[in-house]
Amino acid sequence: MNQKIIEQSLCVKNLHVKIDQLELAKGMSFDLHPGEVTVIIGPNGTGKSTLLKTLFGDINRQQGDICFGETSLNKKWLSKWRKHFGYMPQDIHLDIELSVLEVVLLGQLDALSLRLNESMVSEALYALEQIGLLHLADRPVNALSGGQCQMILFAQAMMRKPSILMLDEPVSALDLHFQQVLLDHLDRKTKENRWISLMVLHDLNLAAQYADKLLVVKDGLIVSHGAPKTVLTPELVKDVYGVDAEVTVDGQGIPFIRTRRSSYKQEPDNVKTKLKKETGVSSVF
């Protein structure tokens, strides 16, 4: 990889997107930098997935510029633009008679020929080994669980060796172990290869742990963009989700968000103090 590619950032300026009558972006501007994991958070239906699809060139924008280094998103050069991207859509349903290995191999679609070459097969297998699923390689994908499918599709997206990796709720079906495997792996690869990684997560605590930057989206606007420590405040959670929450800092200096049941509002003060004592340790749950 040459130096030039490594230094390119993804810049979005004054983005407007409208689907039917629904305005999903009303002038978003932000920059994403190589080597950083950015997590998009925000309420349901505010256009987080739409934002990813727009960056991928699958949804037309009304207005605004999307640039990656010197190239900008343009309908004519769509396939060239998409070569920079690894994109993992939300849907993880795989109803096809293929083996896991074949599905992962499809990540390198453009390079596949009628005879699979050895190095490509071993690369796909290595990708599986890294996420701990090598033993599934020859299993049919339609016999896997939803979480296993999600991991396989993650491996597929990684196979594209993208400059920009976009994941739409990549951990929605994963157990605690695989959440950690996937996010750790993503973080490591992003730093190693200087990828621009962008993903949508709903769990604020996972976002706080793994995001270098948070991008908070609400009503088509960027409410906040920055490091989790500065972005995640009780006011922001209240503002964006309409939920009361306490934000403390855990032993590693990472913000920890604990929401309160709305029915607790009227509870006496001792609940609050008791909670405060216990926050920061996992025994809260």
Partner 1 sequence: MHSQSISSAIQDQRRSEKRRWFVICILFIILAFSFVLDVATGPSMLGVVEVSRALMQFFGLPAKVDVTTLVIVTELRLPIAIMAVIVGGVLGVGGAEMQTLLNNPMASPYTLGMAAAAGFGAALMLYIGSLGLSSNVAVPIGAFVCCMLAACLLFALATMRHITSGQLILAGIALLFLFQSMLSLVQFIASPELSQQILFWLFGSLSKSSWTNLAIVASVTVVSMALLMNDAWRLTALRLGEERAKSLGVNVNSLRLRTLFIVAVMTATVTSFVGIIGFIGIVAPNIARILVGEDQRFFLPLSFIIGSFLLSSASVLSKVIVPGALFPIGIVTAIIGVPFFFWLIIGRRRR
Task: Give the interface with partner 1 as residue ranges (CB under 8 A).
Answer: 56, 58, 79, 82-83, 85-89, 91, 93-99, 101-103, 106-107, 109-110, 112, 114, 116, 118, 121-122, 125-126, 129, 134, 137-138, 140, 143, 153, 156-157, 160
Are 27 and 61 a contacting pair, CB within 8 Å? no
Residue nearer to partner 1 on the CB measure, 15 or 52: 52
Distance in Å, CB of 147 to partner 1, minimum:
17
Distance in Å, CB of 10 to partner 1, minimum:
17
Are 221 and 188 a contacting pair, CB within 8 Å? no
* Helix pair angle (118-130, 146-159), 10° resolution: 130
What whole-number distance in Å separates Cα of residue 186 and Cα of residue 195?
10
Residue nearer to partner 1 on the CB measure, 149 or 207: 149
Residue tagged 């950690």 (tokens): 180
State how beta strands 196-200 and 213-218 pair: unpaired
Residue nearer to partner 1 on the CB measure, 156 or 190: 156
Distance in Å, CB of 41 to partner 1, minimum:
22
Of 183, 184, 188, 219, give the one whose Cα is nearest residue 201: 183
Distance in Å, CB of 146 to partner 1, minimum:
14
Distance in Å, CB of 247 to partner 1, minimum:
35
Angle at 131 between CA 88 and CA 9, to 5 degrees: 45
Residue nearer to partner 1 on the CB measure, 5 or 281: 5
Residue nearer to partner 1 on the CB measure, 147 or 255: 147
Distance in Å, CB of 125 to partner 1, minimum:
5
What whole-number distance in Å separates Cα of residue 66 and Cα of residue 274?
48
Residue nearer to partner 1 on the CB measure, 81 or 256: 81
Distance in Å, CB of 142 to partner 1, minimum:
9
Residue nearer to partner 1 on the CB measure, 80 or 276: 80
What whole-number distance in Å separates Cα of residue 89 and Cα of residue 34?
21
What whole-number distance in Å separates Cα of residue 166 and Cα of residue 177?
21
Are 128 and 159 a contacting pair, CB within 8 Å? no
State how beta strands 22-32 and 10-19 pair: antiparallel
